[in-house]
Amino acid sequence: MPMLTIKAQIHATPETERVLRDAMFCATKVYNGLMWHLRRQQEQTGRVSVRRSNLNRILKTLPRAKGYYSMSAQLTRDEVRQAWRSFFALRKNGRTKHNAPGFRPRGFLSPLRYVQSGFTVAGDRVTLSLGKWREDGVRQITFRISHRPDLKYERVRELSITYDKSSERLEARLVVEVLPRENHGEGRVAVDVGETVLLAAVFADGVALLYSGRLIKAIRRYWQKVRAKVKPPSRDAPHRSRRYSEIAHKERRQVEHLLHIVTAHFIRECIRRGVKEIAIGDLRNIRQEIAYGDRLNQRLHNWAYRKVINMLRYKAALAGIVVHADVDERGTSRTCHACGSERKSNRIHRGFYRCGCGWTAQADVNGALNIYERAFQVSPTKGSSGRVARPMVLSFQLGWHTVHEPERKHLRASA
Ligand SMILES: [Zn+2]
């Protein structure tokens, strides 16, 4: 059964919210307490043991560990282990100048994580256990959550309470099991994710769909102008500016909204065309290739790219479609789909790929065709005679013309 992570808003009384924040603050104290003890061990003995037995021993000595659910405290312990492990890996590669992983800032609200036990979700009501030993005697709390109404799930596997910096609110994240729609299709499609063309998809019958990235660029440009008018309070840490993070927040909301529309439309098309498998080129391979710098510049920046992939993954999962998001994308944009040559002379002009062999195609369609062939070992456009057919290209434009700053209350309502 596919698992999805969903975000939900928390609706709690001020008293419940106070208790939640206090429990999260306890988690920070526990995190820093474990960190402090480990650092001291390191100073005294020159070594650190991040074994669970060592950490559990320290955990017992930390009074704040009793401020929240014991299994959640163990998950905080695992976060500390993870921090050290990442640190060891960085140090091994000489990529850090620090002696130990850092502490969490004062007043930081650490996530409260629940796996398997300590929580129940009944409809929109969530009950969390806080353990038996809190000083104020509160053992459990109940509050309401709300999330996107179109999501139906079978079971909640994990739940975390996190603090969202941009909205300054507590949020719930639920890992849920969803019942996928039955899918008897056998079709395949390959997808290339880019900036000018947000999604280029080719189906097995040689039909290509192009989703323009023009509106996303327009949103970027608009907020870039707004940003230019705001003076950062500190040159060294512009992200600390409240207005800056508000701008980033709004920009992301608008981009996300568009990405939802595009990916939802695309998945509907997949269902209509009987698709069972989606292949997506994996960018991680490209990042190491300096030669593809031009291509990277054409890319959506990392955040939006990850969003698109995640949306495709979960929308596909709901539709019973399998996603292969690990197709090696290297060379797919420069290689001629017809003759397979990859030469510098295969220039891209005005979004069109041209090869000396006579093949011409929209550049992203050419890339998607190569991803298709790499993933499925067959090309949608190559006939048995070796002739290559031109794909039929359909373009989609979103009917979303205005880019404006929505009112605050609207933002909240759509959160
Ligand atoms: Zn060629």
Going from the Cα of 387 to the center of ligand 1, the distance in angstroms, rounded, reads 12
Element (H, E) at 308: helix 302-318
Region of 358 please: left (phi>0), alpha (psi -120 to 50) or beta: left
Q: Could you tell me the distance, in angstroms and rounded to a whole number, from the CA of residue 359 to the centre of ligand 1? A: 6
Expressed in angstroms and rounded, the spacing between residue 369 Cα and the centre of ligand 1 is: 13
pTM of the full structure: 0.70
pLDDT (tens digit per residue) in 81-119: 999 999 999 998 888 888 899 999 988 999 999 998 999
Looking at residue 27, its amino acid is: A
**What is the CA(354)–ligand 1 centre distance, in A?**
8
- Single-letter amino acid code for the residue at 257: H
Distance of alpha carbon 255 from alpha carbon 368, whole angstroms: 23
Per-residue model confidence (pLDDT) at position 338? 92
Count Cα atoms within 13 angstroms, Cβ side, for 147.
Answer: 19
Please give the distance, rounded to the nearest whole angstrom, from the Cα atom of residue 365 to the centre of ligand 1. 14
Q: Are 277 and 189 spatial neighbours (Cβ–Cβ below 8 Å)?
A: yes
Which domains are assigned to the chain? 3-177 (no CATH), 187-396 (3.30.420)
What distance in angstroms lies between residue 376's CA and the mean position of ligand 1's atoms? 20
DSSP structural state of residue 239: G
Burial of 143 (0-12, 13-18, 19+ CB in 10 A): buried
- Tens of pLDDT, residue by residue over 187-222, are 999 999 988 889 999 999 989 999 988 888 889 889
> Nearest CA to 61 among 82, 25, 100, 30?
30
Long-range contacts at 222-226 (CB < 8 A, ≥ 24 apart): 222/403, 223/247, 223/250, 223/251, 226/405
404 CA distance to ligand 1 middle (Å)? 44
Report CA(328)–ligand 1 centroid distance (Å): 20
Per DSSP, 62 falls in state -
Measured in angstroms, how far is the CA atom of residue 287 from the centroid of ligand 1?
A: 26
Can you give the pLDDT at residue 214? 86
* Percentage of the chain exceeding pLDDT 70: 88
Among 11-25, 174-188, 218-232, 282-296, which is the least confidently predicted range? Answer: 282-296
Distance 127 CA to ligand 1 centre (A): 62
Ligand 1 centroid–CA 370 distance in Å is: 12
- CA 360 – ligand 1 centroid, Å: 8
The per-residue pLDDT for range 51-90, each reduced to its tens digit, is: 999 999 999 999 999 999 999 999 999 999 999 999 999 9
